[in-house]
Amino acid sequence: MSDLLKDIEEYLIAGELAVADGVDLFRDKIPDSPDTVIVLSEYIGSPGSVGIGATDRSVQVIVRANTYEDARRTSWGLYKFLINPQHELVHLTPTRWGIMHGRHTPIKFQEDKQARTLFVFNLGITTLGD
């Protein structure tokens, strides 16, 4: 069985935007270390349409880095990779397709207690259930 967040992780790793789950990619938690991380969390999406097996799901992407510039650059790189108007239909894995669209562009979210900067953006993905 597939898991949307793991499939997005696999897609980011294949695109060389991340190394591995638990190394620089995390799901549903922001760890204390390392300093530079990408965090994926799913939140409420839209209900499916009758007769269509796909639903519009929502994913939040948080990027943390030591500097504002690094967090901004990384978050925009991820956004442009995931939200590509020329390739709206993507194959995240051999068994998972998705149509991705931005809910909003990357913005500064906060600075943590260690003065690391966090940027955030949200995306919608029309795809099959897990």
Token pair listed for 62: 């948080």
pLDDT confidence tier of residue 55, bands split at 50, 70 and 90:
confident
Q: At residue 50, does pLDDT exceed 70?
A: no
Contacts of 82 (CB under 8 A, 6+ apart): 8, 61, 100, 123
Name the more confident of 1 and 123: 123
CA distances 88 to 51, 101, 119, Å, are 22, 8, 23
Q: Are 129 and 96 in contact (CB under 8 A)?
A: no
Label each residue of the chain as H, E or C.
CCCHHHHHHHHHHHCCCCCCECCCEEECCCCCCCCCEEEEEEEEEECCCCCCCEEEEEEEEEEEECCHHHHHHHHHHHHHHHCCHHHCEEEEECCEEEEEEEEEEEEEEEECCCCCEEEEEEEEEEEECC
Rounded to whole angstroms, what are the CA distances from 18 to 50, 124, 126? 36, 20, 23
If you average pLDDT over every residue of the chain, what do you get? 92
**Which of 110, 119, 129, 113 is closest to 52 using CA atoms?**
129
63-99 tens-digit pLDDT: 999 999 999 999 999 999 999 888 789 999 999 999 9
Percent of the chain with pLDDT over 90: 80
Residue 66 confidence (pLDDT): 98
Is residue 26's pLDDT more than 90? yes
pLDDT at residue 1 is higher than 60:
no
Structural domain boundaries in the chain: 4-128
The structure's pTM equals: 0.92
Question: What band does 54 get if pLDDT is binned at 50, 70 and 90?
Answer: confident
CATH number of the domain at 4-128, please?
3.30.2000.10
Is the pLDDT assigned to residue 2 strictly greater than 90? no
